[in-house]
Structure 1
Amino acid sequence: MNGAGSLLRTLTGAGVDVCFANPGTSEMHFVAALDGVPGMRAVLALFEGGATGAADGYARMTGRPAAVLLHLGPGLGNGLANLHNARRAGTPVVAVVGDHATTHAPLDAPLQSDIGAIAGAVSGWVRYSASAAEVGADAADAVAAAHRGQVATLVLPADVSWGDGGRVAPPAPVAPRPVADAGALRAAADALSSGEPAVLLIGGDALRADGLAAADRVAAATGARLLAETFPARLERGAGVAPVSRLAYLGDAARHQIGAARHVVLVGTRSPVTFFGYPGRDGDLVPDGCTVHPVVDGAGAAAAALEELADLLAPGRAARVAPAARPEPPTGALTPASAAAVVGALLPEHAIVVDEAITSGAGLPAATAGAPRHDWLTLTGGAIGYGLPAATGAAVACPDRPVWCLQADGSAMYTISALWTHAREGLDVTTVIYHNRAYAILRAELEQVGAAGGPASEALFGLDRPELDFTALARGMGVPAERATTADELAGALRRASAEPGPHLIEAMLPAPG
C-alpha cells in the first residue's frame, strides 16, 4: 500500500469521510487512491477558497472534521481566507496539502514555497509526513488535533504519497473538551448574583438549544443582560428556542448594549472588542472599572458550564422560548427590510441559513426570530467569500435539510464558482443574492474612520460599471436562476425554489445605497 492509500483509509477509519478538493500534480496519487477507498466522498471545488469554506460549513453542521485537499503552498494560500474563518469559528478541519517530492524540493522549482509558514497562520497543528510508513499515524494525529476545534494541516510530499510501505493507523484518542473550573464557575455565579450590572456573553456550543436555555435561566434569575458573540459559528434559533440578541458589529451600538456593566461573564467566547481600530476611540468594549470573568473559552464545553451556572443560580426555573411568529409576506418595492420580511415569512422548518448578506441583512434577525426552528451560520472571521462555499459544505453535511444562502453581491464574487459545485452535486441550496451594486460596508467604514471621500474613493465602492448579472452567471454554471425586483417576486421565487429539489439562485435587486 502506498502512503496515499494509508492516509485515506486512516481518515475514513477515524470518521472523516468527505474531502473537498482542488488538487494538482503533487496530489495525483491521493486522487488515484480514492478509487480504492469508496468510503471517502470527494467533492470538487473550482477554487481552493471554495474547498476550504465548504469544509468549514460541513464541520459546523456535523461537529466532525471534513478533509480539504490543496495543491502546494499557492493552493493553500488561495484557500487561506476561509481557513481563517474556520479558525475563528473553532471548526475542526483536516487540511491535506501536497508538496513537491523531497528529492525535488532542493531544486527550487517554480511552485516551491514554505508551506509550514503559510499553514501556521491559520493552523493549530502542522506536520510534514516524512515517510509512507508514517503517513497513517500522522493522519490519525491530524484528525485528533482537528477535533480540538482547530485546523490541522498535514503536508504530504509527493514521494511520500506514492511510496510503498504505508500502514493504516487506528483512530488516535480525542481529548475531551475542557470543562469549566469550579473556581471560575463560583466567581461567575458571585458576579452575576452581586446585584451589580452584569453582562453574560456567550458563544461556542452555548449557542445550541440546551446552552441557550441554560443561559436564559441564568439571565432571568439574575437580571444580567444576555448577549451572543457578534458572529456565531452556529446559532440555533426560532420558535421554541430560547432567544438571544447578538452583540452589535458597530462599536457604539455594542457599547450601548454592554452599558455600565460592572461584570462581564464569558462562556464560550472571547472578551469583546471592536472589529477595527478607529481614530480617537478605544477598541476594548469592556467599560472602565468592569471585571471580566472568563468561565470557559470557545474550545471548551460552554453549554455544560451554563447548565452548571443555571443549577447554581436558577434551580427549577424554566427557560423562556421564542413564540412562533412570522411577518406577513410584504408586497411592493424590494428593500432590505421587505426582503428580510419575505425570508421571515417563508423560511422552511429545519432550514440552515448561511448568512453573508452583510449590510443588506440588517433586518434578518428580527424578521426570522419566530420562524420555525433553524440554524444560522455567520462570517466568524470577517474574511468575505465564505457564504457560497459554506452553503456547499452545510448541504453535503445535511442532505435532508434545506440550505438558504443569503449572500451579498460583492462578497459573492470572491467564490462565485461554488455555484458550479452546487449544480454538480445536486445540492439543495437556495441562494439569494442581495444585489445593491456596491460594497456598501466600505462606505460605512469610510465614515467610521472619519476619512473624507471623493470620486476616486467612490469608484472603489461601486459594482455598477459594468453591472453584474448573477442570473446569467448562475445559469452558466448549471444553477436555475431568476431575478426579483419586488417583494412579491422574491416571495414567488422562493416558493418555487422550495418546491423543487436541487440548487437555485434568486437575484434580489435592491436600491443602490445612498
Structure 2
Amino acid sequence: MNGARSLLSGLVGAGVDVCFMNPGTSEMHFVQALDAVPDMRGVLALFEGVATGAADGYARITGRPAAVLLHLGPGLANGTANLHNARRAHSPVLCVVGAHATDHVRHDAPLQSDIDAIARGASGWVHTSGTTRALASDAMRAVEATGRGGGQVATLVLPADVSWSDGGRVAPPRPFPVPSPVSIEALDSVAASVGEGTVLLLGGDALSERGLRAASRISRATGTRLVAERFAARMESGAGVPTVDRLAYLAEQVRPQLAGATTLVLAGAPSPVAFFAYPGVESDLVPDGCAVLELADAAQDVVGALEALAGRLASDVDPDLAPLSPVDPEPGPLSVRSLGAAIAVTLPENAIVVDESITSGGGLKALTTAPRHSLLTLTGGAIGQGLPVATGAAVAAPDRPVVTVEADGSALYTIQALWTQAREQLDVTTVVVNNAAYAILRGELARTGAGGADERAQRMLDLTDPTTDFTAVSRGLGVPAERATTSEELVAALRKAHAEPGPHLIEAIVPPVA
C-alpha cells in the first residue's frame, strides 16, 4: 500500500478516526486514501484555523486526539493561532502537514518554507517523515507524543513522495501516556498547609466533576477558598456540580479575589499572572507574603491528588452542589446580564457551552444554576477559537447540544466554521453578541495609559461603517439565522433553535460595554 493509506490505517488502529482538514495538492493521496479507509471520518473546513480549532474542541470533549491535515507551511501558519490555543488547553492534537516532494524542495518553489520552524511555535513534538516504510511508525510516535505533558500538539510533516510511494505498512499503536501520580511528600505538604488562609487554584482536570467534588469537600472541611483558572479548557458546571468562581480577567479584579491569602495551592493550574503588562502594575498576581505550593501540574493526576487530600481532611464531608434555579431574564431590550440569563434559562440538559463572549461574558455567571453542562473557554487568548471549538465538540459528542456564545469581533476571524456546521448538520446554536465594537480594546486603551482616542483612533476600535449583518452571513453559509433585540426575542429564538435539528445562529444586539 502507499504511504497515505498506511498512515490512515495506522491512525484508525490507534483510535484516531476523525481528521479535520483543509488540504491542497501535496495532500491529495491522503484525501484519496479516505475511500480506502472508510473508518476515518474526514471533516472539511474552509479555513485552516477552523480545522485546528475543531481538532482542539474534539480533544477537549473526548480526551483523545483528532488529526488535522494542513497544506504546507502557509496552511500551517493560517492554523497556528488555534494550535496555540490548543497548546494552552493541553489538548492532544495530531497535526499532519503536507510538504513538497523531497526532490522538489531544492527548486525553491513558491510555497516552499521552513515548516519545522513554523510548527515549533505551538507544537511540543515535530518530525518530518523521511521514508514511506517508516511513515506508519512515525505516526504512532506522533499519536503517543500528543499525550505527553498532560496533552500537547504533535506535528508530523508528510512529504508528498512519502505519501504517494508504495511500501507502506501499518504499525502497532504505542501506549498512550497517563497522568503520573502525585508524590506523598506533595500531599503531606499541602495537607499541613490548608486552612482559612488558603486559596486552592483549580485548573485542568481539577475542573472535572470528580475534581470539583473533592475540592468542595476540602473547602467545606477546612475553610479553604476555591478559585478556578480563568481560561479553562473544560470545566463542569451547573446544577449538581460545585460552584467555583473563575479567576477574574483584569489584574485589579484578581487582587480582591486573592486578598488575605497566606498560601496559594496550585492544583493543575499555573500561578496567576496578569494577562498583559501595564504601566506601574505588577504582573505577578500572587499576594505579597503568600506562599505558593504545587499539588499537581498538568501532567500529574490532579484528580487523584484532590481525592486523596479530601480523604485525609474531609472524609465525612459532602460537597456543596449548585441547585437548579435559573432565573428568567428581565424583559425588554437585551443587556449583557439579561443575555446570560436567557441562555441559562433555556439551556438543554448536558449541553456543551463554548464561551468566547469577551467583554459581554459577565452575564454568563447565571449558568452556574442552569442545567448541568460542560464549559469550554478561550485558553490561549488568540481570538477566533469559539466557532471552531464548538464545531469539533459537536463532532465529538453528536448526542449533546452545543451552545456557542461568540463576540462579534472574534466571530469574524473564523466565521467559515458555520459552513462546516451546516455541511455536517451539527447541533450547534451560536449566539453572536453584537455590540458593533472592539469593546475590550476601548477599556484597554485607558488601562495601558495610552491616552484618549480621537476620531482616527476610535475608528480602529469600532465595528460599524459598515456593521456586519451576521444573519445574512450565516444564511449565506447555510445556517438559518435570526436577530434578537429583546430578552423575549432571545428566549424564543433559543427555544426554537434547541427544538430543531442542525445548526442555528442568533444575532443578539446588546449595547457596547468596556
- Quick one: distance in 2 between partners of 1:301 and 1:318? 22
- Quick one: distance in 1 between partners of 2:369 and 2:260? 30
1:373 alignment counterpart: 372
2:165 to 150, 163, 166: 163
Contact (CA 8 Å) 2:17, 2:41: kept in 1 or not? yes
- Quick one: distance in 2 between partners of 1:483 and 1:174? 46
The answer to which of 490-499 and 325-334 deviates more is 325-334
1:152 alignment counterpart: 154
1:184 alignment counterpart: 186
TM-aligned CA deviation for residue 222 of structure 1: 1.5
Q: How does 1:268-279 map to 2 (within 5 A)?
A: 268-279=268-279
SS in 2 for 1:103: helix
Structure-2-length-normalised TM-score: 0.98
Quick one: percent identity of the two aligned structures? 62
Give the AA of the match of 1:170. Answer: P
Q: Deviations over 1:382-421 (max 9, x none)?
A: 0000000011000000101110010000000000010000
Contact (CA 8 Å) 2:147, 2:178: kept in 1 or not? no
Q: How does 1:254-273 map to 2 (within 5 A)?
A: 254-273=254-273
Q: Deviations over 1:289-329 (max 9, x none)?
A: 21110121123221111101111111121111001111124
1:43 alignment counterpart: 43
- Quick one: distance in 2 between partners of 1:145 and 1:154? 11
Contact (CA 8 Å) 2:65, 2:94: kept in 1 or not? yes
Give the AA of the match of 2:434. Answer: H
1:85 alignment counterpart: 85
TM-aligned CA deviation for residue 242 of structure 1: 1.1
TM-aligned CA deviation for residue 251 of structure 1: 0.4
- Quick one: distance in 2 between partners of 1:489 and 1:330? 12
Contact (CA 8 Å) 2:19, 2:68: kept in 1 or not? yes
Q: How does 1:392-471 map to 2 (within 5 A)?
A: 392-454=391-453, 455-471=455-471
SS in 2 for 1:70: strand
- Quick one: distance in 2 between partners of 1:513 and 1:272? 25
2:29 alignment counterpart: 29
Give the AA of the match of 2:430. Answer: T
- Quick one: distance in 1 between partners of 2:493 and 2:347? 13
- Quick one: distance in 2 between partners of 1:453 and 1:32? 56
2:233 alignment counterpart: 233
- 1:303 matches 2:303: yes
1:383 alignment counterpart: 382
TM-aligned CA deviation for residue 108 of structure 1: 1.0
Contact (CA 8 Å) 1:388, 1:412: kept in 2 or not? yes
- Quick one: distance in 1 between partners of 2:29 and 2:394? 28
Contact (CA 8 Å) 1:354, 1:378: kept in 2 or not? yes
- Quick one: distance in 1 between partners of 2:183 and 2:85? 28
- 1:116 matches 2:116: yes
Q: Deviations over 1:427-448 (max 9, x none)?
A: 0000000000001011111121
TM-aligned CA deviation for residue 512 of structure 1: 3.3
SS in 2 for 1:363: helix
Give the root-mean-square deviation of aligned CA atoms. 1.0
1:134 alignment counterpart: 134
2:319 alignment counterpart: 319
SS in 2 for 1:42: strand
TM-aligned CA deviation for residue 221 of structure 1: 1.4
Contact (CA 8 Å) 1:90, 1:299: kept in 2 or not? no
SS in 2 for 1:184: helix
- Quick one: distance in 2 between partners of 1:169 and 1:277? 48
Contact (CA 8 Å) 2:14, 2:173: kept in 1 or not? yes
1:104 alignment counterpart: 104
Give the AA of the match of 1:182. Answer: I
- Quick one: distance in 2 between partners of 1:150 and 1:217? 31
- Quick one: distance in 2 between partners of 1:299 and 1:111? 37
Contact (CA 8 Å) 1:6, 1:166: kept in 2 or not? yes
The answer to which of 374-383 and 339-348 deviates more is 339-348
Contact (CA 8 Å) 2:329, 2:339: kept in 1 or not? no
Contact (CA 8 Å) 1:204, 1:299: kept in 2 or not? no
SS in 2 for 1:144: helix
SS in 2 for 1:395: helix
1:220 alignment counterpart: 220
Give the AA of the match of 1:53. Answer: G
- Quick one: distance in 2 between partners of 1:386 and 1:75? 17
TM-aligned CA deviation for residue 136 of structure 1: 0.4
1:338 alignment counterpart: 338
Gapped runs of 5+ residues in structure 2? Answer: none
Q: Deviations over 1:145-178 (max 9, x none)?
A: 1122000100000011111111101111222212
Gapped runs of 5+ residues in structure 1? Answer: none
- 1:509 matches 2:509: yes
- Quick one: distance in 2 between partners of 1:291 and 1:512? 40
Contact (CA 8 Å) 2:404, 2:430: kept in 1 or not? yes
SS in 2 for 1:79: helix
Q: Deviations over 1:26-45 (max 9, x none)?
A: 10110111110000000000
- Quick one: distance in 1 between partners of 2:435 and 2:20? 31
Contact (CA 8 Å) 1:26, 1:99: kept in 2 or not? yes
The answer to which of 476-485 and 321-330 deviates more is 321-330
Contact (CA 8 Å) 1:265, 1:293: kept in 2 or not? yes
Give the AA of the match of 2:271. Answer: S
Q: How does 1:201-216 map to 2 (within 5 A)?
A: 201-216=201-216
Contact (CA 8 Å) 1:192, 1:224: kept in 2 or not? yes
- Quick one: distance in 1 between partners of 2:487 and 2:123? 43
TM-aligned CA deviation for residue 188 of structure 1: 1.1
Give the AA of the match of 2:319. Answer: A
